Structures are given as C-alpha cells and as structure tokens.
C-alpha cells in the first residue's frame, strides 16, 4: 500500500510555526516513504476563506521547501458531500436537531452545575413528526448531528501507541449547520476516503476527534481505515501556548526577518522528538533522517534562541554558489561582486546571524565609513608601516607585526584601535580577510581620520 498523507489548512489566516510543523512532518513522512503529499484547502467556510490566504499558504510552504504532489479544494466538491450526507440521513446516522444556540448552552450549563460532562442528551432523536413540524412552522431550521455508536473505538497510534476511546463520552458532533453549510468533519472524512489517504499525522489535540472520525469513516465507507499519528503540541520556551505569540511566529514574519528556511525546518522537524537540535545539510538529509517513531508524548518547546543558533549555523556553512544570487539582490553592486564577491562571503559568513547582516559588512568594505580614532599618534605610526604592493591574507600579519615591533603594543591594545579605525566596530570578521577587500587606499584614509 503506497503512503498518502495530506495537509489540510483552512485558508482563513496565515501559517504559523505550529501548523507549518504539521505540514512539514506530513511532507517528510511522505517523502521518506516514497509516498504522496496532498495540499488540501478546507475552504467550505465561504465567508472566512480568502484567496489571499490560499496564496500565502502556498508561498509559505514553498519557502519552507515543502512541495505537494497535488492540490485539492473542498469548495469544488460540495455535491459529493451533499450526496454522502443524504445517504447518512437515510440510514439514520445523521439526524436533525432544532435546539437554538441559547437552548444548547442552557443544557450545558445545567450539566456543569450537576458536575456532569456537557454531552448532548440526544433529545432530538425522540422528537415526533408533529414536534418537528411545529419547530419548522416557527421558522427553525435543523442542524444535523452524526449519531455515534457510544462504544469503544480502538486504534494503534504511531506516536501514542494503543488508543481506546469510548465515543459515549462526547456529544454527537454537528456536521451540517442550520444554513446547510458543512463543518469540517464530514467533508474531511469524505476527502480522506476519496483521495486514498493512508496516514493522518497531526497534533495530539485531535486525539478525541480520532475516535469520532474513525466511526464516521466506517459509516461512509464500511471497512475504511487510516493510520493515525498524534504528535505532541509545541509551546513557547516558558511553556505558554503559541497562540499567544502567533503574530510573531508566522512563516511570513520569519521570512521577513531574513531567517533561513533550512534553519526553521530543521528545528520544526525535530521538536517533540528524541533528535538533538541541530541543522541539516539540506532537505534530502532531513528526509533521510526522519523517523516518526522518535516523537514522544511530551510537549515540545519552541525556543527562538534555538532558531537563532541554527540560523547562524546555516549561514556559516553556506556556499557562495548559494549565497551569491541573494547577495547580488541585497547589495546591488555588480562590479564589486564580480571582483570580490566570493572572497567577501568567505570573510563575513562566520559572523552573520541573519543574511541581511551581510549588507552591514559590505558597507564596511566598499562604502564610505567614518573611522573611530582615539590615538592619532598610533594611527600615524600605523600609516607609516602600511605595506605597499599587492595585498593578500598575509598583509594583516605583516602590518601588525611591524607595528608591534615599532610600538611595543600587543593583543587588544594593538588590534582593537585598528579594528575601530577600519570598521567602526569592536568586533567582526578576521581583519586579515577584510583588509584586502577594503583596499590600501581606503585603509590609509581611514587610519588618517578621513571618511572613506
């Protein structure tokens, strides 16, 4: 049996790290099993679903490296859902209910007051034809619930192991609203059956839904079955729910912060598993290493500091072949890039936390900079010993060696004043690498106190 999985976002908002992680886990599972990954937009909510969110989700997944084998839209399959609903109504598995929202809330409050779970009492099953006619004469339109068997549903979960849940502990779920539109449950079941989905990997907050959905799946297509894997949810570093911070952890926000998709996917693919936090060389390595059995039941913590660490590591290992085109777009200096681009990247990549940090160092090397000089006598001595001729990585050592002999300075007292004069900063890439890029003429002007 070939593996088929799906990621089914509702296009009512943007992706954040929580649902992006679900998409990534499904994609890695499919690719590691030579399977199929379906991107399905659960867009039956016509009022809230927007095309801009569809496009945003596609863009976010593509940025992350997640590709899909086919795309489905639930809004194109309403006739199919209605046909299945009619069949379930005919068999008695869907039944009409006429309670208003206020009446249902009153029932729930009364049960809670009695310290009972707020499970629907199935009063609608006892309605007579006359009572139904009376409600409809009042103008009430029914919503439709799926009648659960109220028995044990057993399955083996890829993460949680053996699961047993009695559906008598939950209310019969509403699947069709009063206006005739579908909630997500029935369309999702029909699609999973029709599209041949074999595995459903999602957050552990859907475990209870699993029992309900297995019952509904069997009602729609007797004997149909999927394999579940309910992975632990992720929380913030202090254990808080990510929903509180979703605005700063959207995929688009991370992209706008010049974070690398490989650092994000490396972190999300490991959160909640036994794998150590580290960065992968590339997506094929991530696929080859993926194992759903590594996930535990403990809540995983998303720490921005981990992401920052991985992001820096990705940049420190990035080749110029990959960085070059992005660098060209960032600095817009074709001449200097042609001559110095690769040497510049090799010099600065080890000091980058985000890719756009490279623009700062590009300015240090190739744009006018006001030097920071405190000891003009020392700078005059530095100018006197500045090497002539063609500069290379050895030039820095030759220059500072001569200065050390002439002035007796060493260590920080020797190097920091030069760094401040040449870069305006007290830290950064090795000056033996920057010096040839800055060039003798600009170096001389800077140590003489000129903006250059």
Q: Quick one: what percent of the chain has pLDDT higher than 90?
A: 89
User: Given this model, what pLDDT does residue 221 score?
Assistant: 97
Task: Tell me the per-residue pLDDT of 57-106, one tens digit each, with 9 for 90 and over.
Answer: 999 999 999 999 999 999 999 999 999 999 999 999 999 999 999 999 99
User: Given this model, what pLDDT does residue 245 score?
Assistant: 44
Please, which pLDDT band fits residue 237 given cuts at 50, 70 and 90? low
User: Given this model, what pLDDT does residue 239 score?
Assistant: 65
Please, which pLDDT band fits residue 305 given cuts at 50, 70 and 90? very high
User: Given this model, what pLDDT does residue 261 score?
Assistant: 97
Residues 235/300, Cβ–Cβ less than 8 Å: yes
Please, which pLDDT band fits residue 184 given cuts at 50, 70 and 90? very high
CATH architecture of 376-447: Orthogonal Bundle (1.10)
pTM, entire model: 0.91
Query: Residue 165 pairs with which residues in a beta bridge?
Result: 153
Task: Tell me the per-residue pLDDT of 358-408, one tens digit each, with 9 for 90 and over.
Answer: 999 999 999 999 999 999 999 999 999 999 999 999 999 999 999 999 999
Q: Quick one: what percent of the chain has pLDDT higher than 70?
A: 97
CATH architecture of 1-72+232-317: 3-Layer(aba) Sandwich (3.40)
Q: Residue 236 pLDDT more than 90?
A: no
Pick the closest to residue 192 from 161, 172, 156, 218 (CA basis): 218
Q: Where are the domains of the chain?
A: 1-72+232-317, 320-366, 376-447
User: Given this model, what pLDDT does residue 147 score?
Assistant: 98
User: Given this model, what pLDDT does residue 332 score?
Assistant: 87
Pick the closest to residue 148 from 128, 127, 126, 119 (CA basis): 119
Q: Residue 246 pLDDT more than 50?
A: no
Virtual torsion, Cα 151, 156, 162, 167, nearest 10 deg? -20
Same fold, 1-72+232-317 and 376-447: no
Q: Residue 352 pLDDT more than 70?
A: yes
The pLDDT mean for the chain works out to 94
């Amino acid at each position: 049996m070939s593996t088929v999985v799906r990621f089914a976002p509702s296009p009512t908002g943007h992706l954040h790290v929580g649902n992006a992680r679900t998409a990534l886990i499904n994609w890695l599972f499919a690719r590691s099993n030579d399977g199929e990954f379906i991107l399905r937009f659960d867009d039956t909510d016509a009022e809230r679903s927007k095309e801009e969110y569809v496009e945003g989700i596609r863009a976010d997944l593509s940025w992350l490296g997640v590709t899909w084998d086919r795309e489905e839209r639930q809004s194109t399959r309403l006739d199919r859902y209605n046909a299945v609903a009619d069949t379930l109504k005919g068999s008695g598995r869907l039944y009409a209910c006429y309670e208003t929202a206020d009446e249902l809330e009153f029932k729930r409050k009364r049960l809670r007051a009695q310290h009972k779970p707020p499970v629907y009492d199935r009063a609608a099953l006892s309605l007579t034809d006359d009572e139904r006619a009376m409600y409809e004469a009042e103008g009430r339109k029914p919503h439709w619930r799926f009648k659960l068997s109220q028995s044990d549903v057993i399955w083996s979960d890829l993460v949680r192991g053996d699961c047993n849940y009695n559906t008598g502990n939950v209310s019969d779920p509403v699947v069709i609203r009063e206006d005739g539109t579908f909630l997500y449950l029935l369309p999702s079941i029909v699609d999973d059956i029709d599209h041949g989905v074999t595995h459903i990997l999602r957050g552990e907050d859907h475990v209870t839904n699993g029992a309900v959905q297995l019952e509904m799946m069997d009602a729609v297509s007797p004997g149909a079955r999927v394999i579940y894997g309910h992975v632990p949810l992720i929380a913030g570093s202090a254990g808080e729910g990510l929903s509180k911070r979703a605005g700063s952890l959207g995929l688009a926000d991370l992209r706008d912060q010049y974070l690398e998709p490989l650092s994000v996917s490396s972190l999300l693919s490991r959160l909640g598993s036994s794998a150590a936090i580290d960065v992968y060389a590339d997506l094929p390595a991530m696929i080859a290493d993926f194992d759903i059995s590594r996930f535990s039941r403990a809540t995983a913590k998303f720490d921005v500091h981990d992401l920052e660490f991985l992001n820096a590591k990705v940049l420190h290992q990035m080749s110029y072949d990959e960085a070059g085109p992005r660098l060209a777009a960032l600095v817009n200096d074709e001449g200097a890039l042609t001559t110095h681009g690769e040497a510049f990247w090799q010099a600065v990549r080890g000091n980058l936390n985000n890719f756009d940090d490279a623009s700062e160092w590009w300015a240090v090397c190739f744009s006018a900079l006001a030097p920071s000089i405190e000891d003009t006598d020392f700078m005059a001595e530095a100018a006197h010993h500045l090497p002539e001729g063609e500069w290379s990585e050895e030039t820095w050592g030759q220059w500072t060696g001569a200065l050390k002999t002439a002035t007796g300075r060493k260590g920080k007292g020797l190097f920091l004043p030069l760094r401040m004069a040449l870069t305006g900063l007290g830290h950064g890439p090795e000056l033996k690498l920057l010096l040839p890029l800055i060039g003798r003429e600009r170096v001389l002007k800077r140590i003489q106190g000129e903006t250059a």
